[in-house]
Structure 1
Amino acid sequence: MTTILYARVSTLEQNLGHQRTQAEAAGFVIDEVVADHGESGVSTCLADRPQGRRLFDMLRKGDTLVVRWVDRLGRNYQDVTDTIRLFMRKGVIIRTVINGMTFDGSTKDPMQEAVRDALIAFMAATAQAQAEATKEAQKAGIAHAKSDETKYRGKKPSYDRDQLSLVSDLLAMGKGTSEIAKEAELSRQTVLRIKDDPKAAESALVKWGL
């Protein structure tokens, strides 16, 4: 029985290491890490990513696949739900670091299956919705950063691209400010600023080339 962590970041500037750190801090004992660096979870299905496709060959019945959250598998509703169900049919257990969710195909009770599948669908839909919201915030942030009124860069952000992405994900899941601050290693004030104005948060990173 092998425990595999799948990690993914969508840009080359982001760091993958924190996803393993978070998993181990949550008590997971990782046997192997499979990671895609600079791969979009929106436009590229898991099976089409260089390392993501390895999972389909590596995972065996009884193995555990660990991800920070389902959005690491992807941010496309159909792809994520299809992938999780395929792995469950193979006897693979999927576990998330955030929220400590566990999905497997062990139950044969139709009501339990319905609840499980509804939760998977909800999480996959949330991942896609968050991706679409982030894309709009990035567009607005870039436009804001390029406008004549914002040539002055201002104070360097106290967060990086990884932390902004994590805060956005956790906000979409309805996490509280204090919990997000602890998870992202930021102050509550910083989290509140990101929450109140995601466009300005994105703009600040763009201005500083982060």
Structure 2
Amino acid sequence: MKTILYARVSTKDQTAAHQLTQAENAGYLVDDVVTDQGVSGVTTRLAERPQGRRLFDMLRSGDTLLVRWVDRLGRDYEDVSDNIRAFMRRGVVVRTIINGMVFDGSTQDPMQRAVRDALIGFMAALSQAQAEATKEARRAGIAHAKAQDFAGTKFRGRKPSYTREQFDQVGVASEQGLGTSEISRLVGLSRQAVLRIQADPSGCEQTLQKWGL
């Protein structure tokens, strides 16, 4: 039985190292790391990602699939919930680093199964809502940047201290009610950077757009 960490990182200058560190800090012993690099999580289904397809081939009954959060497992509500259930049918236990969620198909008690299934639906819906909010913020940032360029304002200001991945992570973790210090530790940013993103997510999104991040 193995514990496999699946990581998705959105740009070439990012790695799965910080997600592995998070997993180890949470007490997990990871046997293998599977990483999709440069793949959009909001447009590409898990089964259509190169390493996402590999997960379906390599996971066996009794294995644990570890992800930072359920949004790693699909592009929208249907994809996330379908994939979690597909892995559970195989006897795979799905666990999240954030909040330590556990989705186990071996549960037989009907009440526990009902709670588990309701939680899958809620988490998948929350992930899609976050993805939609991120897409909308990106569209707004692009529109703002174009307007600034049209007006002749080319100065981009200071390069942001956070990546696109970290910006998205702060948004998800904040939605989950995590404290500033915990978010700072999980995503590898200073508390000041986390507070800045939380206080003005739209402005931070626009800064990322100005820098093409």
- The alignment's TM-score, normalised by the length of structure 2, stands at 0.90
Q: Deviations over 1:97-146 (max 9, x none)?
A: 11111111121111110101111111111111100000111111122233
Residue 108 of structure 2 corresponds to residue 105 of structure 1: no
Whether the 8 Å contact between 1:10 and 1:38 is mirrored in structure 2 is: yes
162 and 43 in structure 1: CA distance in 2 versus 1, 3 angstrom threshold: closer
Residue 161 of structure 2 corresponds to residue 184 of structure 1: no
1:197 to 175, 196, 200: 200
Whether the 8 Å contact between 1:15 and 1:162 is mirrored in structure 2 is: no
Q: Distance in 2 between matches of 1:50 and 1:156?
A: 32
Q: Distance in 2 between matches of 1:200 and 1:130?
A: 17
1:163 to 156, 161, 166: 166
1:32 equivalent in structure 2: 32
- How far the C-alpha of 1:171 sits from its partner, in A, is 1.8
Letter in structure 1 aligned against 2:178: K
Whether the 8 Å contact between 1:126 and 1:173 is mirrored in structure 2 is: no
Q: Deviations over 1:125-169 (max 9, x none)?
A: 111110000011111112223313753222222222222121111
Deviates more, 1:19-28 or 1:88-97: 19-28
Residue 128 of structure 2 corresponds to residue 128 of structure 1: yes
Letter in structure 1 aligned against 2:120: I
89 and 174 in structure 1: CA distance in 2 versus 1, 3 angstrom threshold: same
The percentage of counterpart residues that share the same residue type is 68
Q: Distance in 2 between matches of 1:86 and 1:113?
A: 15
Structure 1: 5+ residue stretches without partners:
none
Letter in structure 2 aligned against 1:109: D
75 and 173 in structure 1: CA distance in 2 versus 1, 3 angstrom threshold: farther
Q: Distance in 1 between matches of 2:10 and 2:33?
A: 17
Q: Distance in 2 between matches of 1:111 and 1:157?
A: 47
Whether the 8 Å contact between 2:44 and 2:75 is mirrored in structure 1 is: no
- The alignment's TM-score, normalised by the length of structure 1, stands at 0.91
Q: What SS does the corresponding residue of 1:175 show, helix, strand or coil? A: coil
RMSD: 1.8
